[in-house]
A = this chain, B = another copy of it.
Amino acid sequence: MTLTQLRYLVAIADAGLNITLAAERVHATQPGLSKQLRQLEDELGFLLFVRKGKSLDAVTHAGQHVLARARTVLGEVGNIRSLAANLRNEARGELRIATTHTQARFALPTAIAALNTLYPEVSVHLQPARDAEILAQLEAGRADLAVISTVGAPPSGGIALPAYRWQRLIVAPQGHPLAALKRPLTLDDLAAHPLVSYDSSRRPESSLRRAFEAVGLHPQIAMTAGDADLIKTYVRAGLGVGVLAEMALQAEDTDLRRLPAEHLLPACTTWLVLRRDAVLREYVLEFIARFAPHLDRRDVARALADAEPRDWPAVPHWRERSGPTLSVAA
């Protein structure tokens, strides 16, 4: 068993059992991977993949276990490398962030821009994914950092640092009946119109649905998208009333009427999630400091060491996020 074999193994798994694709990703040739895989299987004495003809068809049950172990092995090897790179003050590296489209588009840019000026040799890789996949990406080692939002408790499966809190906004095109309301919006008002919101509100446990169901209402969700820009587009097209994150409404969206919904929908918290036992490169700490400036660097280090959540300083609201970091944006 060699580290190369394990690396090839997870590359094949991550490439969807396509050896040729996996070979490209690890900068090696396809026969090389095939051979190493076979050797590993020979040494272990059982098949890691089920073959259908010549192709790989599925991961064996035993293969699942081996894969999981292999991932932690490679993770720890990566940790050793990070440790070394930190000691060496190595400026190059990469930062893979798994997150939602909303965060990537509206919340992360300033912090990433700031990071880029400080560490121009660090290549940032944003991996947009659906909520459920984000933490899986993190745990599988395909991301160094996850940025994800919840309504209540922090996400489990990693070390969660609270970044900021935010509210949802209701947006309607000018001239829409709701836009002309003189009184505060109610859930009944909303339930009377088709809604346009995020894909995640399709899930029955979504906080949007639950807010309605708590008072016996059933929202009519006309359409969902993963992307706030799409939501805004369809709201403009008159498809319905938009429900989206306040970060997603920018200064130039003057044609949309923004209706506060703090009194209707619970606040969300956006979390930075790190793998347990991960050694972070210096620039990752720098990024965290930019993205969540209210967190003391030592608090972050402690959270990583203790591997247990602790009491954090008050989490700022999105609107309160201070100017200095914002002005760094290119």
Contacts and interface: CB of A to CB of B under 8 A. Distances in A.
Contacts of A73: 73, 76-77
Interface in A32-85: 43-46, 62, 65-66, 69-70, 72-73, 76-77, 79-81, 83-84
Contacts of A81: 1, 44
A3 interface: yes
Contacts of A87: 45-46, 62
Contact of A62 (B1, B76, B83): B83
A88 B1 contact: no
A2 interface: yes
B62 A69 contact: no
B46 A84 contact: yes
A286 B258 CA distance: 67
Contact of A66 (B1, B2, B83): B83
Contact of A45 (B69, B84, B279): B84
A224 to B, nearest CB: 37
Contacts of A83: 44, 62, 65-66, 69
Nearest to A44: B84
B70 A80 contact: yes
B84 A80 contact: no
Contacts of A66: 80, 83-84
B65 A69 contact: no
A88 B1 CA distance: 17
A175 to B, nearest CB: 58
A90 to B, nearest CB: 8
A278 B154 CA distance: 28
B80 A76 contact: no
Interface string A69-110: 110110011011101100110000000000000000000000
A70 B80 CA distance: 8
Interface centre among A66, A73, A77, A81 (most CB of B within 10 A): A73
A9 to B, nearest CB: 10
Contacts of A3: 1-3
Contacts of A69: 76-77, 79-80, 83
B76 A46 contact: no
Contacts of A43: 84
A1 B77 contact: yes
A73 B79 CA distance: 11
A80 B88 CA distance: 32
Interface in A132-177: none
Contacts of A80: 1, 44, 66, 69-70
Nearest to A66: B80
Nearest to A85: B45
Interface of A: 1-3, 43-46, 62, 65-66, 69-70, 72-73, 76-77, 79-81, 83-84, 87-88, 279
Given A1-B77, A45-B87, 11 more contacts: A1-B80, A3-B3, A43-B84, A44-B84, A45-B84, A65-B279, A69-B83, A70-B76, A70-B80, A72-B72, A73-B73
4 residue pairs, one from A and one from B, having the closest CB atoms? A44-B84, A45-B88, A73-B76, A69-B76
